[in-house]
């Protein structure tokens, strides 16, 4: 598929706000408001069983806030800086996976995307070209998504055949059924924008942006993919 390329002067790496691509991201939060006592939530028991190795305080926070971005040292990937999070969706796992794997629908909940183009499809995934809107600048890159429905897993990474404006961007969604109407998702993303900013600044801003984007995604999924 042919694409319009931005002017050379616009193709500059911009740091923190780029994280949102992790979604390939992907995410949504109809409610970062507290829901009352965690023990009263119907999904509380299966969640505690699933996250048996997690501290109780972390589980209680997740039950209350529904989106929980983990501290860097809690991430499971040892290959480099990565932001990970838990998201509680109030939808059956099958429907959550259907919506998250519809990667071309991300502009419905991601206001940072100026546009998105589906470049190609194959048996197990899709390549999407994304243009991030950052003030008067567009940052352009292509993500190759790999879908694994039986494992309820989605992965993405930069398409190496494209001249991306990022050095690294990859991530994943991993879904777990809690009950007939609740799904636990683990999300992870890693981004490297090169020399644009110090790593500790990029990490801090990425974590904050991740929470906002996952909140919007959760809201979208809980609304069954209805545009807001």
* Distances in whole angstroms, Cα of residue 188 to Cα of each of 99, 105, 181, 219: 17, 19, 23, 18
Low-confidence winner among 72-86, 135-149, 151-165 (lowest mean pLDDT): 72-86
Yes or no: say if 138 and 153 are a contact pair by the CB < 8 Å rule: no
| Measured torsion, CA atoms of residues 131, 24, 148, 157, in degrees rounded to the nearest 10 | 70
CA atoms within 13 A on the CB side of 149: 9
pLDDT digits (tens, 9 = 90+) for 149-200: 999 999 999 999 999 988 889 999 999 999 999 999 999 998 877 665 445 5
The DSSP output letter for 25 is: B
pLDDT value at position 158? 97
Domain locations in the chain?
Answer: 16-222
For residue 152, what are its two tokens? 């309820």
Query: Which secondary-structure segment (H or E) carries 221?
Result: helix 199-222
Q: Is residue 8 left, alpha or beta, with left meaning phi > 0 and alpha meaning psi from -120 to 50? A: alpha
Q: How far is 7 from 138, CA to CA, in rounded Å?
A: 9
Low-confidence winner among 10-14, 104-108, 207-211 (lowest mean pLDDT): 10-14
Predicted model pTM: 0.79
* Second CATH level (architecture) for the domain 16-222: 2-Layer Sandwich (3.30)
């Amino acid at each position: 598929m042919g694409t319009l390329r931005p002017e050379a002067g616009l193709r500059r790496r911009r740091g923190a706000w780029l994280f949102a691509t992790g979604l390939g991201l992907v995410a949504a939060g109809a409610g970062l408001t507290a829901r009352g006592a965690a023990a009263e939530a119907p999904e509380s028991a299966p969640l505690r069983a699933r996250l048996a190795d997690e501290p109780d305080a972390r589980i209680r926070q997740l039950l209350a806030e529904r989106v929980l971005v983990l501290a860097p040292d809690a991430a499971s990937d040892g290959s480099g800086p990565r932001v990970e999070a838990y998201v509680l969706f109030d939808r059956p796992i099958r429907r959550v996976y259907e919506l998250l794997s519809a990667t071309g629908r991300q502009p419905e909940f991601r206001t940072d995307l100026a546009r998105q183009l589906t470049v190609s499809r194959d048996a197990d995934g899709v390549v999407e070209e994304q243009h991030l809107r950052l003030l008067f600048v567009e940052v352009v890159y292509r993500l190759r998504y790999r879908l694994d429905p039986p494992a309820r897993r989605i992965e993405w990474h930069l398409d190496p055949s494209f001249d991306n404006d990022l050095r690294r961007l990859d991530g994943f969604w991993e879904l777990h059924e809690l009950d007939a109407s609740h799904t636990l998702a683990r999300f992870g993303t890693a981004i490297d924008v090169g020399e644009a900013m110090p790593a500790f600044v990029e990490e801090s801003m990425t974590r904050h942006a991740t929470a906002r984007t996952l909140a919007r995604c959760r809201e979208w999924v809980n609304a069954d993919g209805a545009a807001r």
